[in-house]
């Protein structure tokens, strides 16, 4: 049975990750320099992400890792104050529109999002001051907000 994105969302639990996150934008050369110093690596106990496209490298780090890595970040751009919401439902890679449904709900509430996808679960980053509004907006559409 193929469920729609809205039906899948209704069975999802939304978990707010306890850490506060920062987005870091840097060059490839900056990343290579950072990776050359093991003392500047994420501590592997909190979520983090490294994404490299043809234009830049983006890191998502919690505040503790950001503080530890800051000496190696040089002129990197940093945006602080993000919270991560994870939709605790394992999604098949063929599911269409799941994040679009979430985006629509939060857009209607005036909340900007930064979507993230792992292999089987979707997450998003929102600013800390939008967290309460986002959870209220999502509440009627999900199984549980934790």
Domains detected in the chain: 5-18+82-145 (3.30.2130.10), 19-81 (3.30.70.120)
For 122-142, the pLDDT digits (tens) are: 999 999 999 999 999 999 999
The answer, yes or no, to whether residue 104 has pLDDT greater than 90, is yes
pLDDT of 1 reads 60
> Where does the pLDDT of residue 61 fall: very low under 50, low under 70, confident under 90, or very high at 90 and above?
very high
Rounded-to-integer distance, Cα 70 and Cα 49, Å: 16
Helices of type H across the chain:
5-10, 28-35, 63-69, 98-108, 131-138
Cα torsion through 53, 96, 124, 119, rounded to 10: -60
Q: pLDDT at position 35, please?
A: 86
pTM value is 0.90
For 7-32, how does the pLDDT look when each residue is reduced to its tens digit (9 = 90+)? Answer: 999 999 999 999 999 999 999 999 98
* Cβ–Cβ < 8 Å for 88, 144: no
Q: Give the C-alpha distances (Å, rounded to integers) separating 25 from 6, 58, 90, 119, 120.
A: 33, 5, 29, 23, 25
């Amino acid at each position: 049975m193929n469920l729609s994105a809205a039906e899948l969302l209704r069975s999802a639990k939304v978990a707010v990750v306890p850490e506060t996150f920062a987005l870091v934008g840097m060059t490839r050369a900056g990343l290579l320099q950072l990776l050359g110093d093991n003392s500047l690596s994420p501590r592997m106990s909190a979520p983090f992400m490294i994404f490299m496209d043809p234009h830049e490298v983006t890191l998502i780090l919690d505040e503790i890792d950001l503080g530890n890595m800051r000496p190696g970040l040089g002129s990197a751009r940093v945006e602080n104050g993000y919270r991560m919401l994870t939709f605790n439902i394992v999604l098949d890679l063929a599911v269409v529109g799941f994040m679009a449904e979430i985006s629509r709900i939060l857009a209607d509430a005036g909340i900007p999002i930064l979507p993230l996808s792992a292999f089987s679960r979707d997450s998003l980053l929102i600013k800390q001051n939008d967290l309460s509004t986002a959870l209220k907006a999502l509440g009627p559409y999900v199984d549980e907000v934790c």
